[in-house]
């Protein structure tokens, strides 16, 4: 690589030409909207009129005091934490179980993976039907009275959505942990065994540190994926009952697209972008530190 440190002008220009198309598309498609959202967040634009009145920080002050937005954030945070904890633990557990030498590993892998091939919009509908039509039949069959109508009440809707989301994504993250597990050299386990470490000690002293890169990917991935939840809600709870399952994106959609408050909606988008960046930064930084130690 060092032999090419003196790249001639022509070559440099040609390299530029290779990068420019992607650069321009990405800039127009993602970066310009980001900048515009920031700009519009200081206006009271309704999305139609030519005039975009500058209102300063008014939208942000409103954002902080808006009970609906607070509720939406609170739901999004609960949903994100729930997913991150449950999905990581179960995905790792499943991966360890599949890697423990059981037969027909491939069939299990495919079974767990199938749900994540399905669009979230469909997953939402499937669980709506599961809770309201299919599962209550178990009560009829067994004579029990378990409450399966999880989307019907504000207290249970989060649990219902967590089940749906975990059903969809556990298989995906499990595959990542599985690949991580399979890349750990067997010598490490042998050495730990010779040192007299039991299975639990081996798990925490060999497996967990060696899985550090997988942890980073899964934790960051699940967090970002949960913060942006929207599709799942559209076809299942529609943000309800009441506003009990309104996520921040859902709230932005209702405010901006249905309520024609583009300026205020932009402020919500900006706040979400900032949260996403902050969370990713903190997570990557602290997790990468662990990776180095390992």
Which one of residues 125, 152, 208, 287 is an interface residue with another protein (CB under 8 A)? 125
Site for another protein in 213-232 (CB under 8 A): 213-214, 216-218, 224-225, 227-228, 230-231
Distance, CA of 130 to CA of 35 (rounded, Å) = 42
- By CB under 8 A, residue 103 contacts another protein: yes
Which one of residues 42, 63, 180, 207 is an interface residue with another protein (CB under 8 A)? 180
Which one of residues 55, 77, 86, 126 is an interface residue with another protein (CB under 8 A)? 126
- By CB under 8 A, residue 285 contacts another protein: no
Find out whether 235 and 124 touch, Cβ atoms under 8 Å.
yes
DSSP symbols for 224-293: HHHHT--HHHHTTTTT-STTTT--HHHHHHIIIIIT--HHHHHHHHHHHHHHHHHHHHHHHHHHHHHHHH
CB closer to another protein out of 12 and 154: 12
User: What is the C-alpha end-to-end distance of the chain, expressed in Å?
Assistant: 29
Tell me the three state secondary structure of residue 55.
Answer: coil
CB closer to another protein out of 14 and 155: 14
Distance, CA of 272 to CA of 197 (rounded, Å) = 45
Site for another protein in 237-256 (CB under 8 A): 249, 252-253, 256
CB of 53 to another protein, least distance (A): 16
Site for another protein in 262-281 (CB under 8 A): 262, 265-266, 268-269, 272-273, 276-277, 280
- By CB under 8 A, residue 184 contacts another protein: yes
Tell me the three state secondary structure of residue 121.
Answer: helix
- Nearest Cα neighbor of 155 from 229, 217, 242 is 242
Site for another protein in 4-63 (CB under 8 A): 4-5, 7, 10-12, 14-19, 21-23, 25-26, 28-34, 36-37, 40, 47
Which one of residues 139, 147, 182, 286 is an interface residue with another protein (CB under 8 A)? 182
- By CB under 8 A, residue 86 contacts another protein: no
- By CB under 8 A, residue 142 contacts another protein: no
Q: Which residues, listed in sequence order, are joined to residue 54 by a DSSP beta bridge?
A: 43
CB of 239 to another protein, least distance (A): 14
Find out whether 180 and 213 touch, Cβ atoms under 8 Å.
yes
Which residue is associated with the tokens 């599962």?
A: 135
- By CB under 8 A, residue 160 contacts another protein: no
- By CB under 8 A, residue 175 contacts another protein: yes
Distance, CA of 132 to CA of 130 (rounded, Å) = 6
């Amino acid at each position: 690589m060092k032999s090419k440190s003196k790249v001639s002008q022509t070559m440099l220009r040609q390299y530029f030409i290779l990068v420019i198309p992607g650069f321009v598309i990405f800039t127009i498609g993602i970066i310009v909207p980001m900048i515009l959202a920031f700009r519009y967040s200081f206006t009271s634009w309704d999305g139609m009129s030519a005039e975009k009145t500058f209102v300063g920080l008014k939208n942000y002050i409103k954002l902080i005091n808006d009970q609906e937005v607070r509720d939406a954030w609170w739901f999004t945070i609960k949903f994100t934490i729930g997913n991150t904890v449950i999905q990581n633990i179960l995905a790792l557990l499943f991966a360890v179980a599949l890697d423990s030498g059981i037969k027909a590993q491939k069939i299990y892998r495919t079974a767990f993976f199938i749900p994540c091939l399905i669009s979230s919009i469909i997953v939402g509908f499937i669980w709506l039907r599961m809770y309201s039509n299919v599962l209550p039949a178990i009560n009829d069959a067994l004579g029990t009275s378990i409450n399966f109508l999880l989307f019907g009440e504000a207290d249970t809707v989060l649990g219902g959505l967590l089940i749906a989301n975990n059903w969809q994504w556990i298989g995906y993250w499990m595959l990542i942990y599985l690949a991580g597990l399979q890349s750990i050299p067997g010598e490490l386990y042998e050495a730990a065994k010779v040192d007299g470490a039991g299975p639990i000690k081996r798990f925490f002293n060999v497996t967990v540190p060696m899985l550090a890169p997988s942890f980073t990917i899964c934790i960051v991935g699940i967090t970002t994926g949960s913060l942006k939840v929207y599709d799942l809600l559209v076809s299942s709870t529609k943000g309800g009952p009441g506003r009990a399952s309104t996520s921040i994106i859902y709230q932005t959609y209702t405010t901006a697209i249905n309520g024609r408050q583009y300026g205020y909606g932009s402020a919500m988008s900006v706040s979400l972008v900032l949260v996403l960046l902050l969370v990713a930064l903190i997570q990557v930084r602290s997790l990468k530190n662990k990776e180095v130690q390992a």
